[in-house]
């Protein structure tokens, strides 16, 4: 079993090294210095392994932290404030641990699902599947459990005032439920239950029943005491021992894995992976307008770009129209409320707080990231096969046209929001002088220009799409996350106080745009001709 674990770890290590090096080679500036062969470069292997460990730890903490907060903290706080429940926090926490663990066991049917590591180990290298299955099941779940433990410990102590012993019992309980889940997966593959609708509906009903039981008992003020928690946990652990014995008693895992990893299964997994792309392409094709009566009197690439905009006007104008309606509806509700409450004299109205929210709102409302995928799927993927389309002059020409068009499409809802903020300022008698109102409108337009340029620039610098619209650039995703994080920090941090002058915040937005714009244009001018290509 240990040999199988070590061999699998070596396979995973090699795959992580190759993925890391492939990502480095796609980076601007430093990509050309990364060797195509890493056999002689031990430091690259060590760096890749360290990065893989850090990435796994960060992702585990982030994902489990968010999930734990959503399924534990938010339901309890919401029910406590809205329904005035009387269930003690530790009792709710212990009951939630038990029921969520059982839900995870019921739905953990991926032990025998197709994945690249197991396919290489069992099918290509012909490793013994039984020790590999059991060893990986124990190793993977122990590592995940250790990642989850500190999150549960912090949440249990500080959010639910639970004893540390409750969380320490959670670790063997987590492992026990994973073993039970593997046994259910074993039964699913052995008896061909994966496509059985009765079995699927039974699992879904049991999951919803457990969730309804948690919410219902909490609403009634019923929780789980510590002795009951220990008894139920012990029963689940005992059941997992029986499940592990059943897994150990079965010997022909090779046949089961070959059945799961058949050519048909691999093709089915590949087809499922492409469903999202097919759905996007089908949706886009339905929105493409072919009107022979509409044409353009422009020439060259301006004609190509304008015809693309004409054919995709539903994709370009409809989101802008819908966002404008949403902004108008929200604005009218707020304006009417302010007019009926206490017009021209409101001490609770803080325009700085509203303006701090604007970057994250524009981040979500801006259509740049979705439009770039349409540009690639319906235009650039085919055109990039021609040499003239990959020339520097062509790339920069289309880049300028697309930035200008995207800025225009996003300008109307953005400026509409700016006008509504100005009206609210006048109604509430706060920052209603002409300079403040002009600074609001100018800063809103500046942010619109910044985000419109940002997504197009990232598209040209990294070209993150393949033919099936799968993302190939990790850095593209990281920059997208960092962009959101910066917008969120501008809203949540106290760098700009609510009572600060509004003009200062508007000038900060304008200054950021004036700094970002030439830097992004310079990077695109130098790097886009090298990186804007098919993968």
Residue 419 tokens read as 């006008």
Does the pLDDT of residue 109 top 70, yes or no? no
Residue 519 tokens read as 């830097």
* Residues 209 and 315 grouped into a single domain: no
* Residues 196 and 335 grouped into a single domain: no
Query: Within a domain: residue 45?
Result: no
- Contact by Cβ (8 Å): 517, 451: no
276 versus 80: the higher-pLDDT residue is 80
Q: What percent of the chain has pLDDT over 90?
A: 10
26 versus 427: the higher-pLDDT residue is 427
pLDDT of residue 235: 93
Chain centroid to CA 424: 34
By three-state DSSP, how is residue 465 classified?
Answer: strand
* Residues 133 and 191 grouped into a single domain: yes
By three-state DSSP, how is residue 471 classified?
Answer: strand
Query: Within a domain: residue 290?
Result: no
* Residues 240 and 322 grouped into a single domain: no
**End-of-domain residue from the set 255, 273, 291:** 273
* Residues 315 and 264 grouped into a single domain: no
pLDDT of residue 40: 58
Q: Which of 272-286, 363-377, 465-479 has the highest mean pLDDT?
A: 363-377
Q: CA-to-CA distance for 100 and 148, rounded, in angstroms? A: 14
Query: Within a domain: residue 165?
Result: yes
Does the pLDDT of residue 447 top 70, yes or no? yes
Query: Within a domain: residue 432?
Result: yes
* Residues 328 and 182 grouped into a single domain: no
Tokens 């409302």 sit on residue: 365
Query: Within a domain: residue 57?
Result: no
CA dihedral 356, 358, 364, 368 (to 10 degrees): -120
* Span between the terminal Cα atoms of the chain, in Å: 40
* Residues 208 and 309 grouped into a single domain: no
Q: CA-to-CA distance for 159 and 73, rounded, in angstroms? A: 7
* Residues 269 and 304 grouped into a single domain: no
Query: Within a domain: residue 423?
Result: yes
**pLDDT single digits (tens) 454-486:** 989 998 988 887 766 666 667 787 788 888 888
Query: Within a domain: residue 176?
Result: yes
Largest CA distance in the chain: 81
DSSP string, 256-317: HHHHHTSHHHHHHHHHHHTHHHHHHHHHHHHH----TT---S--HHHHHHHHHHHHTHHHHH
- Does an H or E element contain 383, and which? helix 381-383
Helix-then-strand count for the chain, H and E: 21, 0
* Residues 439 and 499 grouped into a single domain: yes
**pLDDT single digits (tens) 116-143:** 677 777 777 777 777 777 777 777 788 8
**pLDDT single digits (tens) 182-222:** 888 888 877 776 666 677 778 778 888 888 888 788 878 88
* Residues 175 and 219 grouped into a single domain: yes
Instruction: With CA atoms as reference, report the closest residue to 21 among 10, 11, 6, 36.
Output: 36
Q: What percent of the chain has pLDDT over 70?
A: 80
Residues 6+ apart with CB under 8 A from 10: none
Q: How many structural domains compose the chain?
A: 2
Does the pLDDT of residue 264 top 50, yes or no? no
**End-of-domain residue from the set 226, 254, 273:** 273
Query: Within a domain: residue 126?
Result: yes
- Strand extents, DSSP E, 362-501: none
* Residues 355 and 212 grouped into a single domain: no
Task: Give the domain extent around 201.
Answer: 67-273
* Residues 372 and 452 grouped into a single domain: yes
Q: What is the DSSP letter of 379?
A: I
Residue 436 has phi, psi (to 5 degrees) of: -65, -40
Instruction: With CA atoms as reference, report the closest residue to 170 among 71, 240, 98.
Output: 98
């Amino acid at each position: 079993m240990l040999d199988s674990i070590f061999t699998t770890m070596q396979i995973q290590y090699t795959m992580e090294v190759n993925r890391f090096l492939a990502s480095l080679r796609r980076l601007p500036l430093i990509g050309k210095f990364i060797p195509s062969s890493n056999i002689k470069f031990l430091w690259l292997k060590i760096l890749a392994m360290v990065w893989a460990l850090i990435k796994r730890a960060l992702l585990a903490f982030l994902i489990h932290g968010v999930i734990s907060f959503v399924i534990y903290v938010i339901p309890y706080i919401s029910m406590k404030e809205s329904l005035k429940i009387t269930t003690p926090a530790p009792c709710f926490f212990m009951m939630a641990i038990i029921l969520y663990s059982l839900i995870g066991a019921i739905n953990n049917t991926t032990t025998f699902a197709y994945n690249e590591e197991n396919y290489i180990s069992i099918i290509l290298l012909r490793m013994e599947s039984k020790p590999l299955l059991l060893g990986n099941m124990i190793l993977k779940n122990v590592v995940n459990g250790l990642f989850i433990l500190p999150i549960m410990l912090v949440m249990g102590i500080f959010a639910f005032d639970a004893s540390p012993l409750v969380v320490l019992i959670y670790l063997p309980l987590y492992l026990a439920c994973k073993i039970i889940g593997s046994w259910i997966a074993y039964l699913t593959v052995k008896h061909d239950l994966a496509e059985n609708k009765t079995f699927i509906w039974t699992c879904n009903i049991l999951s919803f029943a457990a969730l309804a039981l948690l919410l219902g008992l909490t609403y009634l003020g019923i929780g789980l005491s510590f002795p009951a928690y220990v008894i139920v946990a012990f029963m689940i652990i005992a059941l997992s021992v029986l499940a592990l014995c059943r897994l150990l008693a079965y010997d022909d895992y090779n046949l089961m894995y070959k059945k799961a990893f058949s050519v048909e299964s691999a093709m089915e997994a590949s087809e499922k992976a492409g469903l999202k792309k097919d759905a996007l392409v089908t949706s886009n094709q339905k929105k493409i307008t072919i009107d022979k009566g509409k044409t353009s009197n422009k020439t060259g690439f301006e004609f190509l770009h304008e015809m693309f905009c004409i054919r995709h006007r539903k994709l370009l104008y409809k989101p802008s129209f819908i966002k404008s309606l949403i902004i108008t509806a929200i604005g009218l509700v707020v304006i009417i409320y302010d007019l009926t409450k206490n017009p021209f004299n409101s001490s609770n109205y803080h325009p700085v707080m509203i303006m701090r929210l604007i970057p994250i709102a524009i981040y979500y409302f801006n259509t740049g990231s979705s439009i770039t995928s349409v540009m690639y799927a319906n235009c650039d993927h085919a055109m990039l096969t021609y040499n003239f389309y990959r020339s520097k002059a062509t790339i920069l020409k289309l880049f300028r046209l697309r930035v200008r068009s995207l800025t225009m499409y996003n300008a109307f809802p953005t400026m509409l929001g700016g006008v509504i903020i100005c009206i609210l300022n006048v109604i509430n008698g706060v920052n209603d002088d002409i300079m403040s109102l002009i600074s609001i409108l100018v800063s809103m337009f500046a942010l619109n220009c910044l985000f419109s340029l940002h997504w197009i620039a990232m598209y040209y610098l990294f070209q993150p799409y393949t033919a099936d619209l799968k993302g190939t650039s990790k850095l593209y995703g990281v920059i997208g996350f960092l962009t959101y994080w910066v917008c969120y920090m501008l809203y949540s941090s106290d760098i700009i106080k609510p009572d600060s002058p509004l003009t200062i915040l508007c000038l900060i937005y304008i200054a950021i745009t004036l700094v970002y714009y030439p830097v992004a244009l310079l990077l695109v001018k130098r790097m886009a001709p090298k990186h804007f290509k098919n993968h």
